[in-house]
Chain A
């Protein structure tokens, strides 16, 4: 393997990892704060993608410039967070925080199934594709291989910005500190006047927005079709479990490992590329059952 091929595999891996990380970030944030594994995260990802494609398609049909696709992605993500995430937490999850993990898992899984059918009702079974956002940014050529600037530059930048932003938010802002305090000890935080309900709602909406944003950012690169949410939830769960549940930096590192592992596999031995994320997960969990960055005893599932 020469240097050029090594670099090519690196670029592919980073672009893939960026997308996986954005979705896994929301999942691990919700788990870290609320101790709940939200299977419906996959649906929020898919709905973010569908919403983004529909809004962009509508805007283009009205004659707006394709560059409008970028703000519309954020709009889609926020809509997913507020219209689906908020009611989900407020009316459903809030009732089951003190129930057993199995029940919580079944509950979010049920929501996932319901939302899968909702997507089919609203958008049908036909695949959608709208790559206007990606075409706006054009291509970059490296070693004779053409990449889209969107995947090679924009996605990794957004992933890094989200990682740094999330760290800053949790450690250096008042709201972030309230979230961290509630995570550490909910009762103690409440006794000194923190509104834990509000903190949970806020965290869940942020997590849902991240899922929707992942979907919206994925939408220009892939066919939007039923079932895409299931694939993503499995993959991001692998990332989150390998990293250690609730570990944000760990999720970034694991997403990168999985992305690179997968792309190098395609170059060296394509037959195992599908297996790579799970091989990495198995190897890590064999050595460190609590995940790369997890602390023993904090595990719930």
Chain B
């Protein structure tokens, strides 16, 4: 089995950084798609990695699809690896203003906006154009909206016996919609 990249994608708590964490793991009998073994070794001297980010940005009804490429060697300051020599278990954390370096459409944002993002991770030979692995991911960012729903829930006065239940219904609807957004 070829290298099967696995990652967790999220934003930092303040919604300002896009965080991508490698959870591919090492090659083993139980993880045939892992790093090393029969698959490519993630040594930085052997391989080069890059991430392509595509953001679906809406202004009213109008959609703009903006895209940028982030080479790991160029953005090394934003990539942490447990081992200095290897990309295994890398953790990439890029602030929105750095994302805007490659994606001009993000310049006006001070957080990673709640939107749909597509991400491609590539692992290639560092000296030739050989591509060892490529994988696409979809990330639906709900960082801000999650905070907003939490705020709305806490704004409801549950002690008020005579209050209109419609507030509770609205809050629960918002929470329900948020939970379903991943399945949209």
Whether A associates with B in a native complex is no
Binding site for B on A (CB under 8 A): none
